[in-house]
């Protein structure tokens, strides 16, 4: 029995063994126990072996947790050759971890490739939208689009303020409001022209304008001659100047 215990103790103390948590004391109390035969120096063995047994049992829990993680990351890999084993080895856990790491590395490479493909697709789409024939023209066109967008944004903001619209009003509302305002202005101009020419008939208005076109040039020439002869510059001064000639 002593040889067996000594062999177990040598295994626990070998370089391959994990560090011992429970070690025999080397103080005077332990020496007294050895001298009086009340101790054999192997009191730490049960505690250490019990600790190792607990760790082996914990391996099963760790294996179960790793299997859950593996099923989350690798749902297609449902078969585990260690499922039916009563004992779990560290190699079994290492295999699961390696499989997870390999899959993560594969996903990372794929994501990088997809990112490059996505960026290339975005650039190509931009070229199609804004008629850019080469990659060298992408940045200048981006700057141009950015500048135009800023100008349009400022213009829309000013229109919102001038038309007293809410800042959240869409462009369609702005266009409709401007259209209504133009209709009002055109209607007022038409009414003023009709009132000025004394007629509402479109043909009469055309005739009046033609008469005005024939009459106005000679009248303007006469007025210019009078201004020169009377040495004045204002039309309103013509009548007083003529009256003074009497």
Is the separation of the CB atoms in 24 and 43 below 8 Å?
yes
pLDDT, residue 205, reads 66
**Residue whose entry in the numeric block shows the structure tokens 């260690």:** 82
Q: State the number of CA atoms in the 13 A half-sphere of 93 facing the CB.
A: 14
68-96 pLDDT, tens per residue?
A: 888 887 776 656 555 555 667 888 888 88
Apex 155 CA angle, 150 and 156, nearest 5: 100
Is the separation of the CB atoms in 5 and 45 below 8 Å?
yes
CA 7 to each of CA 19, 22, 45, 137: distance values in angstroms, whole numbers, following the listed order? 17, 17, 11, 80
Evaluate if pTM is beyond 0.85: no
Please choose, from the candidates 109, 103, 111, 113, the residue with its C-alpha nearest in 3D space to the C-alpha of residue 73. 103
- 53 or 35: whose pLDDT is higher? 53
**Residue whose entry in the numeric block shows the structure tokens 């990659």:** 135
171-191 pLDDT, tens per residue?
A: 899 999 988 888 888 777 767
pLDDT, residue 198, reads 65
DSSP characters for 97-160?
A: HHHHHHHHHHHHHHHHHHHHHHHHHHHHHHHHHTT--SGGGHHHHHHHHHHHHHHHHHHHHHHH
Mean of the pLDDT values across residues 21-35? 46
Please choose, from the candidates 67, 66, 63, 43, the residue with its C-alpha nearest in 3D space to the C-alpha of residue 55. 63
Least confident segment among 34-48, 179-193, 218-232: 34-48
């Amino acid at each position: 029995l002593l040889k067996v215990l000594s062999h177990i103790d040598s295994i626990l103390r070998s370089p391959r063994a994990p560090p011992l948590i429970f070690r025999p004391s080397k103080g005077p109390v332990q020496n007294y126990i050895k001298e009086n035969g009340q101790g054999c120096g192997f009191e730490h063995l049960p505690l250490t072996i019990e600790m190792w047994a607990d760790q082996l049992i914990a391996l099963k829990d760790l294996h179960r947790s790793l299997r859950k993680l593996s099923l989350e990351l690798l749902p297609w890999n449902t078969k585990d050759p260690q499922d039916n084993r009563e004992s779990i080895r560290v190699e079994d856990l290492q295999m699961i971890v390696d499989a997870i790491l390999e899959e993560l590395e594969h996903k990372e490479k794929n994501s990088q490739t997809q990112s490059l493909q996505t960026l290339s697709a975005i650039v190509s789409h931009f070229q199609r939208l804004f008629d850019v024939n080469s990659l060298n023209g992408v940045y200048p066109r981006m700057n141009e689009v950015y500048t135009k967008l800023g100008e349009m944004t400022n213009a829309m903001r000013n229109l919102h303020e001038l038309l007293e619209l809410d800042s959240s009003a869409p462009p369609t509302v702005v266009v409709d409001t401007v259209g209504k305002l133009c209709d009002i202005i055109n209607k007022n101009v038409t009414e003023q022209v009709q009132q000025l020419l004394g007629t509402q008939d479109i043909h009469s208005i055309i005739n009046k304008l033609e008469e005005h076109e024939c009459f106005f040039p000679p009248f303007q020439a006469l007025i210019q001659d009078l201004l020169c002869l009377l040495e004045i510059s204002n039309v309103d001064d013509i009548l007083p100047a003529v009256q003074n000639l009497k």
